[in-house]
Amino acid sequence: MNFANASWDDKRRSPYREYLPAADGNLLRQLGSTMVDAANAVRDAAYICGQSFDVLYGTSGTADDYACSLHFIDGARPKTYAYTLEYGGGSFFPPYYEMQHIIDEVNAAMLALCDGVSAPVR
């Protein structure tokens, strides 16, 4: 099961699953959890980690998908992992005082990601 297999076209809501090697999936979940923990520690926020399709809304063909898939199309390309961070709350455009808190949360997540990728993978 992968995006290059045409026999799965138009069957994405069946038992279909995108292919991702277990080690890559584990690394993405580990780093994602590290980022969420850091963001939530800023002010006891409620960020969660998961694939956007499962925890937010259906997505396909996003920039994250494209960045990750290039390695599968051409193994000579480096692996690229991508994350999408979405903040919750009331308004799509929160007031500036609320955005200041969100900026602090996202900065904490990004710093945790940088620390996480520089640390040895267990």
Question: Which tens digit of pLDDT belongs to each residue from 48-67?
Answer: 998 877 777 777 677 887 88
pLDDT greater than 90 at residue 92:
no
pLDDT greater than 90 at residue 41:
yes
Distance of alpha carbon 101 from alpha carbon 71, whole angstroms: 36
Residue 8 has a CB neighbour count (10 Å cut-off) of: 15
Quote the mean pLDDT of the chain. Answer: 83
pLDDT greater than 90 at residue 32:
yes
Distance of alpha carbon 28 from alpha carbon 82, whole angstroms: 9
Distances (CA, A) of 56 to 1, 34, 61, 68, 81: 23, 19, 15, 19, 19
pLDDT, position 121: 55
Average pLDDT on 87-96 reads 78
Confidence bin at 120 (pLDDT 50/70/90) = low
Highest averaged pLDDT of the listed ranges 83-87, 89-93, 110-114: 110-114
More reliable by pLDDT, 88 or 27: 27
Q: What is the pTM of this model?
A: 0.78
